[in-house]
Copies of this chain bind each other. A is one copy, B any other.
Amino acid sequence: MVLSYFLLFLLASAAAAATGVIFRPGRWYEDLRKPGFTPPNWVFPVAWTYLYLSVAYAAARVAPLEGSQVALALFAVQIALNTLWTPVFFGAHRLGLGMGVLVLLWLAVAAMGAAFLRLDPIAGLLVLPYLVWLSLAAALNWRVWRDNRI
């Protein structure tokens, strides 16, 4: 792991994280019909902080290795899609479009995790919680979309 890589990936992740600070759940989210497995609000920033840090660390482990270019291109894809999701869902209140973004994000993260795994098993395993969390987020987005058709 090289520190300068870690800081670069952390900066990219900070752009994604900033969306969560700017577009807060607020009254609109409170009033949505939500499924029973919805985590309490405080869980989200805690989970995302851990995920952004651990995936930036995983990418920094992978970056200096020979042949890591595809893995890094996939990192770029997922961090752009991640940055997109919050404004679409919490900013524009576009639940269906948010679902589409989440599906693409899930696929990009799965591909990134596979690419990491081939280069460095620890980096690959560090992507797993991200994929699990996105699966939960997708289930939540899906139910909120289905149960709040206007």
Point out residues on A near B: beta carbons under 8 Å.
4-5, 8-9, 11-13, 15-16, 18-19, 22-23, 59, 63-64, 68-70, 72-77, 79-84, 87-88, 91-92, 94, 97, 101, 104, 108
Query: Which B-chain residue is minimally distant from A65 (CB atoms)?
Result: B69
Residues of B contacting A9 in the complex (Cβ-Cβ under 8 angstroms): 73, 76
* A102 nearest CB across to chain B (Å): 12
Instruction: State A71–B12 Cα separation when bound (angstroms).
Output: 13
Asked if B81 contacts A15 (CB within 8 A), the reply is: yes
Instruction: State A23–B90 Cα separation when bound (angstroms).
Output: 13
Instruction: State A41–B72 Cα separation when bound (angstroms).
Output: 34
Residues of B contacting A77 in the complex (Cβ-Cβ under 8 angstroms): 8, 11-12, 15
| Interface of A (DSSP majority class) | helix
Other than A4-B70, A12-B79, give 13 A-B pairs with Cβ distance below 8 A. Answer: A9-B73, A11-B108, A12-B73, A12-B81, A15-B84, A19-B84, A22-B88, A69-B69, A72-B76, A76-B76, A76-B80, A79-B80, A80-B83
Instruction: State A60–B127 Cα separation when bound (angstroms).
Output: 25
Residues of B contacting A94 in the complex (Cβ-Cβ under 8 angstroms): 22
Residues of B contacting A87 in the complex (Cβ-Cβ under 8 angstroms): 19, 22-23, 87, 91
* A22 nearest CB across to chain B (Å): 5
Residues of B contacting A84 in the complex (Cβ-Cβ under 8 angstroms): 15-16, 18-19, 83
